[in-house]
Chains A and B, each alone.
Chain A
Amino acid sequence: GESVGLHLPTLSVQEGDNSIINCAYSNSASDYFIWYKQESGKGPQFIIDIRSNMDKRQGQRVTVLLNKTVKHLSLQIAATQPGDSAVYFCADQNYGGSQGNLIFGKGTKLSVKP
C-alpha cells in the first residue's frame, strides 16, 4: 500500500540555525510531493512542492530535496525563525489516482528556541 511518513516526530532548533525535516514514502508510482505547515488552530498551509522529474526545488528560505532511489523527501528551512514553529507534513499525490487525494504523513513538530 501507499504510505507517507516522517522519521522524527519532533525537532527542536535554535533560532538562526537551519532545520531539516525528513519524510519517507513507499509508493514508487508517486509523482508529486508537497510540504505543508500547520500552525495551531489553522489548516495546513502550502509551503513548496516538487514533481518526480526533479531532484531539488528552492523557495524563499526553503528547499525540498527528492531522492527517488531511496524514496526520501526532505524540507530544509534556512535561518529558522520563531514563526517557523509549527507541525510540518509531507504529502504525496498520485495523479494516476484520485486528484486531490493527498496522502499525509503524521507530521513533525518543529520548535524554535530563541
Chain B
Amino acid sequence: ETGVTQSPTHLIKTRGQQVTLRCSSQSGHNTVSWYQQALGQGPQFIFQYYREEENGRGNFPPRFSGLQFPNYSSELNVNALELDDSALYLCASSLRGGDEKLFFGSGTQLSVL
C-alpha cells in the first residue's frame, strides 16, 4: 500500500454532467499528479499541483481542472462529461525536493453513459 487514497472507487455519470474526484496524498508528500488511464492503455498525465497551484499540464482541455488544499490533498474536476472520459483516474503523490518518486493510489473508475 502506498498511502495514497482516492475516492470514490467507482462512479457512474451521464454525458454532460460534472464530476469531482478526490485524493489524499501520502504522509510527507507535497505534490499531487493526476493521470487518466483508458482501458488497455498506459496512464496519461493530466496535470500536477504543488503549493496549491497547477504546475504542469498534459494535453487535456480546460474542462479538466483541479485543486490542491493546504493539507496537500487534491481534487480533480471534470465538466461537461463526454463518453470518452470513461477511464480509470489515478492520483500520485510525491515529495518535491526529495527523491520525487511518484506513488499511485488505486484510482477512481469513472463510467460515462
Contact = CB atoms under 8 A, between A and B. Distances in A.
Interface of A: 34, 36, 41-46, 49, 89, 91, 97-107
17 contacts: A34-B102, A42-B107, A43-B92, A43-B107, A45-B104, A46-B101, A46-B102, A49-B101, A89-B42, A99-B55, A100-B31, A101-B56, A101-B58, A102-B33, A102-B43, A103-B45, A106-B41
B57 interface: yes
A99 B100 contact: yes
A89 to B, nearest CB: 5
Chain B interface size, as a band, is 20 to 34
Q: Is the interface of A mostly helix, strand, loop or mixed?
A: loop
A103 B45 CA distance: 7
Contacts of B45: 98, 100-103
A51 to B, nearest CB: 11
Contacts of B41: 106-107
Given A98-B45, A100-B45, A102-B35, 20 more contacts: A34-B101, A36-B104, A43-B2, A43-B92, A43-B105, A44-B104, A45-B2, A46-B101, A46-B102, A49-B101, A89-B42, A89-B43, A98-B48, A98-B55, A98-B57, A99-B56, A100-B31, A100-B56, A100-B94, A102-B102
A43 B42 contact: no
B100 A105 contact: no
A107 B40 CA distance: 8
A100 B56 CA distance: 8
Given A104-B44, A106-B42, A43 B104 contact: yes
A89 B42 CA distance: 7
Contacts of A34: 101-102
A91 B44 CA distance: 11
A86 to B, nearest CB: 13
Given A49-B101, A98-B48, A42 B94 contact: no
